[in-house]
Amino acid sequence: MRELTIYRELANRIQARLNCINWVRKDDQENAVYRAGQHEKCIESLKDLLPSGSGIDSGISIDLNNSTGERIIIDSSFHAMNDSGYYDRWIDFSVTITPSLIHGISLKISGRFGKYQDIREYLFDVFDDSLRETVKEYYCQNCEEIYYRKRQEELHSCPVCGNKLQ
Ligand SMILES: [Zn+2]
């Protein structure tokens, strides 16, 4: 088991996937495609650890066409509530993550927030906290699968084959 920071592991996996795609040698194509697929699975699992609920849509996605190890773009939407407590409209937003020498990462939240500027600040805080969280990475040698769990959760055996995990 390894302990990792979500944003750094996301960046590593996104860059590793790109390397597999870009550096593919003709005689090794199958292997590169397989490894790119493995990285994509990891990115999907990490995505499931990012914020959803409390107004944030569960249909969050990582824009793999425009993301690199040094710039990650996450797309989601937020269901805004008006002053009377009724749901108003969905606000599509993007979170752009870039490196920062001082803070480790720098976040930008973009979208048409209009009168809901406080939601932009809320999303900044929620994503900033979440991306900096520590996760545990487990590897099953039997299935060659990787699993991520939040720090407070334990995974003793592989959910697929039951193999003991370390
Ligand atoms: Zn397994």
Tens of pLDDT, residue by residue over 121-152, are 999 999 999 999 999 999 999 998 999 999 88
pLDDT > 90 in the chain, percent: 79
Q: For position 151, what pLDDT does the model report? A: 86
Task: Collect the ranges in the chain with pLDDT lower than 50.
Answer: none
For residue 27, report the distance from its CA to the centre of ligand 1, in Å. 30
How far is the C-alpha of 86 from the C-alpha of 46, rounded, in Å?
32
Q: For position 138, what pLDDT does the model report? A: 95
Torsion region of 85: left, alpha or beta (phi above 0 gives left; psi -120 to 50 gives alpha): left
Nearest in space to 131 (alpha carbons), one of 165, 100, 91: 100
Nearest in space to 20 (alpha carbons), one of 40, 5, 4: 40
For residue 46, report the distance from its CA to the centre of ligand 1, in Å. 18
Please state whether the predicted TM-score (pTM) of the whole model is above 0.95. no
For residue 65, report the distance from its CA to the centre of ligand 1, in Å. 30
For residue 163, report the distance from its CA to the centre of ligand 1, in Å. 5
For residue 47, report the distance from its CA to the centre of ligand 1, in Å. 21
Strands 61-62 and 145-150 come out as: unpaired
